[in-house]
Structure formats: structure tokens, C-alpha cells
Amino acid sequence: QKEVEQDPGPLSVPEGAIVSLNCTYSNSAFQYFMWYRQYSRKGPELLMYTYSSGNKEDGRFTAQVDKSSKYISLFIRDSQPSDSATYLCAMSSSGGSYIPTFGRGTSLIVHP
């Protein structure tokens, strides 16, 4: 079992839909949780960053962490065609190396 599991999709939704992207993990030492967005033929860019459990909101994006279930989510409200990209979750522990472990990414397509 991989440390971080992420459904590769693709996930296809109409413009304006609420999108839910998810990752599960097995390492209970993970404390930092990140979401990266990667447009086609570009490098990933950091979108959201949360520490431990709870929610964090930034505009149309909400990151949610449930450590008891080892499950994290990224919600996108009022999705736009410009949100079409691959979304990678990443997580790291607080002890020793902070280098994150990445999920494989979920491809999201928002069609007009």
C-alpha cells in the first residue's frame, strides 16, 4: 500500500459545480498537508497548506483534514474552466525530514 493514495481521475464536471478532490494516507506521523496545482506542461505550484486537522479557506478553495480518518480533501466552489489541471496532494511529518510525500495527482476537467 502506498503511503498516499489519490484517484487519478479524470474528474469531469460542468462549470459552476462544486468539486471534491481527496487523498487518503497511512502514515499517522503526517502533520503538514498541502495541495499543489499543475497545469499541463508546467511545474506544480503550491495552492493550499494546512497544519494538523481542521479546515482552511482561501477564496473558492477549502482544504479539509481529518486525521482520525487519515483523509484530506480539497473543495473548489463555483469551478471554472481555468481550474482544469492536475491536483496533487502532499504531506509530511514534523520530525526529521520535512520533505513531502506526494500523491499521484487527480486530473480535473471543468467544461463550459
Q: Which residues contribute to the site for another protein (CB under 8 A)?
A: 6, 8, 32, 34, 36, 41-46, 49, 88, 90-92, 97-100, 102-105
Measured at the CA of 48, the angle between CA 27 and CA 22, to 5 degrees, comes to: 50
Nearer to another protein, 25 or 36 (CB): 36
CB of 6 to another protein, least distance (A): 8
| Phi, psi of 81, deg, nearest 5 | -55, -30
CB of 14 to another protein, least distance (A): 26
- Which grid coordinates are listed for 37? 496545482
Nearer to another protein, 79 or 88 (CB): 88
Q: How far apart are CA 46 and CA 8, in angstroms?
A: 19
Nearer to another protein, 30 or 79 (CB): 30
**Contact predicate 52/28, CB 8 Å:** no
